[in-house]
Amino acid sequence: MLRQPLTRRSLVRLGGLMGVAALSPALGGCITDGLTTGTAIPEKQSALDVMPVLLVATTRKPVANGPRAPYFGSERGKGLSFAEVRLSPPDRSLIGKVSSVVTGDWTIGEVPKIESGAGAADAFAQAALGRDVLIYVHGYRESFESAAISAARLSDGIRFRGVSGLFTWPSAAATFDYGYDRESALYSRDAFEDLLKTLASSPSGGRIHIVAHSMGTLLTLETLRMLRAEAGEAAMARIGAVVLAAPDIDFDLFANGVRRLGPDVHKITVISSTNDRALELSSTIAGGVVRAGAADRARLEELGVRVADASDYGGGLINHDLFLSNPEVQGVVKRSIARAGGGV
């Protein structure tokens, strides 16, 4: 095994790669995910476009002086907080599409109220009103604002018809804080489990779909292990699709976690890429152990998960967040949710 020393230059490259979107056009043909062949995403409105409200559960500490920008920082809060984030949608006109290349698309309008403490998970469940929920769990080097915008882009991009949600953990949003981010993700397991338990026990029903990215996949996989062990099959039955995009997890750790899920492993779809530059550098930090998101398709499929190999769909240097930028890869997410029975 080749072990390379971690240098300041490596960390700078890692921060730059993981913090910048992969600008890749859709390619000819369709990516397969082990079951079907994808097609273009239908051009219809998402529920978020009709009512631009994002439900947020977070272990970040709210900023002082009430709900005002930046709303949540990088410090770890005590327990879970809930907020309804009111978004401003992008301009759908031709001028708006052109200007969005420079100015961005979705933005945070306001966060009128933040509820912290024992009632936060219940508040999230009540706001969902028994509908299907898509929960996005972000990765390394993300601020609250960037995570919220990515959640909106994901939900709108696949034209999700249910409730859009975000679970955001205390990332420092800084290049040299990879270690802090990883510990903060693990710190958030109990709170994420409490949220999933509450949603799963809601008598009004609704499926819980999860899309996790990069370091957020570690948090998600660990939490699902805990949920299955503590709440059993009844709770897991409410979990729909679980999409792990570019999982930044040691492959051996990933394999152990997946095996502990038993039959629920079939809920998981992994979006992998053998040319993901960010995961290459993450592997360097980890001592050369391959990350699950960069593993060969055959090794992943042996574990029982569905695999969508997006290696041929990256047109840039990064290829770390294709599920946000490439329509073909977004189609994998859409089909995973459709197979699980709802939301799109």
Q: Which two tokens stand for residue 323?
A: 């599920």
* Residue 331 lies inside a defined structural domain of this protein: yes
* Residue 3 lies inside a defined structural domain of this protein: no
**Residue 339 pLDDT greater than 90, yes or no:** yes
Query: CATH number of the domain that 261 lies in?
Result: 3.40.50.1820
* Residue 251 lies inside a defined structural domain of this protein: yes
Q: Which two tokens stand for residue 36?
A: 């079907």
* Residue 2 lies inside a defined structural domain of this protein: no
What's the average model confidence in pLDDT over 227-250? 96
- pLDDT in the model for residue 171: 98
Phi, then psi, of 117 in degrees rounded to 5: 110, -160
What's the average model confidence in pLDDT over 307-336? 83
Count of domains in the chain?
A: 1
With cut-offs at 50, 70 and 90, classify the pLDDT of residue 205.
confident
Q: Which two tokens stand for residue 197?
A: 């338990």
- pLDDT in the model for residue 39: 42
Residues 6 or more apart whose Cβ sits within 8 Å of residue 30: 37, 38, 39, 328, 331
Closest CA to 223 of 250, 252, 187: 187
* Residue 97 lies inside a defined structural domain of this protein: yes
Exposure class string for 231-262: b at 16+ Cβ within 10 A, else e: beeebbebbbbbbbbbbbbbbebbbebbebbe
What's the average model confidence in pLDDT over 171-187? 94
Rounded CA separation 10/80 (Å):
34
What's the average model confidence in pLDDT over 335-341? 94
Summarised one tens digit per residue, pLDDT across range 111-143 is: 999 999 999 999 999 999 889 999 999 999 999
* Residue 154 lies inside a defined structural domain of this protein: yes
Summarised one tens digit per residue, pLDDT across range 288-310 is: 789 999 999 999 999 999 999 99
* Residue 1 lies inside a defined structural domain of this protein: no
**Residue 77: what residue type?**
G
**Residue 154 pLDDT greater than 90, yes or no:** yes
Alpha-helical (H) ranges within the chain are 8-19, 47-50, 94-103, 120-128, 144-157, 178-187, 189-200, 216-236, 251-259, 277-285, 297-301, 322-325, 327-340
* Cα-based angle 337, 338, 341 (whole degrees, multiple of 5): 90
Instruction: Tell me the helices (H) and strands (E) count for the chain, helix number first.
Output: 13, 10
- pLDDT in the model for residue 45: 84
Q: By three-state DSSP, how is residue 240 classified?
A: strand
* Residue 64 lies inside a defined structural domain of this protein: yes
- pLDDT in the model for residue 82: 98
Summarised one tens digit per residue, pLDDT across range 191-200 is: 999 999 999 9
Phi, then psi, of 164 in degrees rounded to 5: -95, 130
Which three-class secondary structure string do you get for 299-336? Answer: HHHCCCCEEEECHHHCCCCCCCCHHHHCHHHHHHHHHH
Rounded CA separation 201/258 (Å):
23
**Residue 64 lies in domain:** 8-340
* Average pLDDT score over the chain: 85
